[in-house]
Amino acid sequence: MDRRQTAVNTPAQADPSLAEFDTTKLLRNASRQAQDRNYKDFFICDVDSHHYETEAMGEILEYIDDPVLRHLGLSSGNVGRSGLLAQPIGSQDMAGRVNRYPGRKFEKTPEKPHRDITMAHRWMDSLGVDLACLFPTPMLLLSTHPQPDVEVAMARAYNRWLCERILEEDPRICSMVYLPLNEPEAALSVIEEFHHRKGVTGFLVTSNQKRPIHDNVNMPVFARLEELGMPLGLHAIYNWADQSLAQTNKFISVHALGFTFCNIIHMTNWLMNGMPERFPKLKTIWIESGLAWIPFLMQRLDNEYMMRTSEAPLLKRKPSDYMREMFYTSQPMEMVNNAEALELTFKMIDAENQLMYSSDYPHWDMDLPSTIYDLPFLSETAKRKILGENALKVFGVEPVMSDWKLKAQKA
């Protein structure tokens, strides 16, 4: 058998223009969609988008309180060697096939505003997004870090950097900031430090926690968020070290299952332990698990609940009744070729009132606003709610329109 290496394209060979990579150019077909669909008259909020905070890690590390950890991060010259962030395994960019991953480092930006703001505005303007809720990328795995003090220090430093360098500077970017729920006392102090900061619309836990979500130690944190009226976001991730996911051998497998599995576990615990009855005003947002898992879990839990009602004594209604009152982000929306299945899913989750558009840009499975806008079974009112108005209500913020839309409205 011939075992020689077959020559194949590297991203740079296949596309020398990567050296002049430009998000606006990559997304010009998205801009055309925005024009064709008249998004100038639509307020669009993206409830789950990302940046690569590792690109600004030198700045972020400066915000660490602990001088030894700060020195550790800054002295080693790169995050990988410092051990301050967990390093995910898996080829998100499909070996360069999704070229914005290798290309972004070549993208030129002016000195001001901050590069993260310029990069965000480029994709936001192309997609037609007015307000983006921005989350980190590698730090989504921070909750798996074995050192609790590192998780807390990094969470605080990142939140401070984000508030000061990005949210203060730009009205079109908001965030639900990192909540180190593995350390509930620290989580409470993070809430106190950041809940009033400009652009902070809630708090985010990544869906891989060392304790179950319903653990009693978490209750003061949920009580405080409820009191403040701020939503709790549960952002899915995959954790290849998870016992059942460890049996998968492909990124497609661990990603497809992991991103729903973690929220399925949290949601089941949340319901069976009566959390919606204990914190009836606490809004929860279930992020980046797609939509197909919701009808599955509604059916599964309702069916068992009817037989084993006494095992969930805090519940006063069926699990699906509570789930229908929670909030969900749309991406990655499955079944786009099966409108019938999608329509039923939308009905089952009361999407018109509970669903919020999200792109997940710049990640490889991002969704454009047209994934919602083009759905034939949605009314104009439903589209407006899902694409923006629901988010405004959940976050309690006013709409901020992008400049190009304001100009286009006047023209």
Partner 1 sequence: MQKFALDAKDVVEGKTSVVEVSGTEIGIALHQGKYYAYHNICPHQGGPVCEGMQMPRVTGEFTDSGSFDRHNFDTSEMHLVCPWHGWEFDVSTGEAIGDRSIKLKSFPVSQRDGKLYVEL
Query: Where along the sequence are the contacts to partner 1 (CB under 8 A)?
Result: 6, 8-9, 11, 13-15, 26, 28-30, 32-33, 94, 96-100, 364-368, 370-371
Nearer to partner 1, 1 or 411 (CB): 1
Residue 368 CB, nearest distance to partner 1 (Å)? 5
Nearer to partner 1, 97 or 308 (CB): 97
Nearer to partner 1, 96 or 388 (CB): 96
d(CA 143, CA 380): 40
Contact indicator for 218, 271 with CB cutoff of 8 Å: no
Contact indicator for 313, 30 with CB cutoff of 8 Å: no
Task: At 34, list the tokens.
Answer: 């925005």
Q: Residue 294 CA to chain centroid, in angstroms?
A: 17
Q: Provide the phi-psi class of 128: left if phi over 0, else alpha when psi is between -120 and 50, else beta.
A: left
Contact indicator for 119, 107 with CB cutoff of 8 Å: yes
The CA–CA distances, whole Å, from 201 to 70, 93, 394 equal 28, 30, 9
Residue 204 CB, nearest distance to partner 1 (Å)? 25
Task: At 138, list the tokens.
Answer: 């590698």
Nearer to partner 1, 10 or 75 (CB): 10
Strand order in the sheet with 45-50: 45-50, 131-135, 173-178, 200-206, 232-235, 284-287, 327-329, 355-356
Task: At 334, list the tokens.
Answer: 């499955």
Q: What is the CA radius of gyration of the chain?
A: 21
Nearer to partner 1, 326 or 372 (CB): 372
Residue 140 CB, nearest distance to partner 1 (Å)? 20
Nearer to partner 1, 2 or 398 (CB): 2
Residue 248 CB, nearest distance to partner 1 (Å)? 14
Nearer to partner 1, 368 or 391 (CB): 368
Contact indicator for 267, 323 with CB cutoff of 8 Å: yes
DSSP 8-state secondary structure symbol assigned to residue 387: I
Residue 254 CB, nearest distance to partner 1 (Å)? 17
Residue 233 CB, nearest distance to partner 1 (Å)? 24
Residue 303 CB, nearest distance to partner 1 (Å)? 32
